[in-house]
Amino acid sequence: MTTLDLIAISVGNTRIHIGFFRGDELDRSWDIDLEDRMQAVEVVTQAWKSCEGSERRAVALASVNEQLAMELRSVIEDQLGEEVYELGSDLPVPIGVALDPEATPGVDRLLCAAASWDLLKQACVVVDAGTAVTIDFVDGEGVFHGGVIAPGLQMQLDALQAGTDALPELRFEKPTGEPYGRNTASAMQRGVFHGVRGLAWRMVEEFARSYEAFPLVVATGGNAEDLFADDELVNRLVPDLELRGIAVAARLALAEAAENEE
């Protein structure tokens, strides 16, 4: 099978994540602020040039922001003179679903589920702790059942400040030391931190009760390290899980397309 070198782009609510895969392995990744779009284009351009001698190369993009995805895709295609494949429209996400007929889950959730299934090949819970927190269940047949969506750590802090007269504006910082918040800011930091950790524990228990078996737990997202690095609940901490999902999806779809061309 021809090796595929892939540039995977994930456009989130606040950040753009880019990964350069040489075959199955993530060679390098970048984390770029959403406002620095031209930096993202430059990173993709340089990564594309670095794999000019590859047997086959491609760029694939996934986004939860459709308008921004269209703009970024257009600029990159103009820069490279190559098609940029979009997950969910040009390329399918290789994961089964058991959802309501009208449900439209975010492609980021499906890609994280697909990457977790590809990694584990068994029932798992996927915790993605970013701007929002999603906790989703994938069964032992590789079928995505959905889960829960909650505000992320910073979103909760912002809501506390916006919805009250007395609470301060804060940037999230991981609380350390004793469990007591002995001032307002410390109490707020501990409230959102332990709230998300507690939610994860509770939902894993609920999923396990429904499934009648205890699944493995995979955590990803910008706040995953702070939340779960020392938490016995989580079996795998995979920072680039969505990028790996893009790579899995692109590799399968483009390999099938190449076979059909022969």
Q: How far apart are CA 149 and CA 122, in angstroms?
A: 23
Active-site entry in 5, 108, 128, 240: 108
Task: Give the helix, strand, coil percentages of the chain, each rounded to 5.
Answer: 40, 25, 35
Collect all residues with Cβ–Cβ distance below 8 Å to 82 and sequence separation of at least 6: 48, 58, 59
Please say whether the dihedral angle defined by the alpha carbons of residues 238, 240, 241 and 245, taken in this order, is positive or negative: negative
Residue 18, CA distances (Å) to 13, 102, 118, 198 in order: 14, 31, 20, 31
Q: Partners of 128 in the beta sheet?
A: 134, 220
SS3 137: strand
Tell me whether residue 5 is one of the annotated catalytic residues.
no
The residues that are catalytic are 108
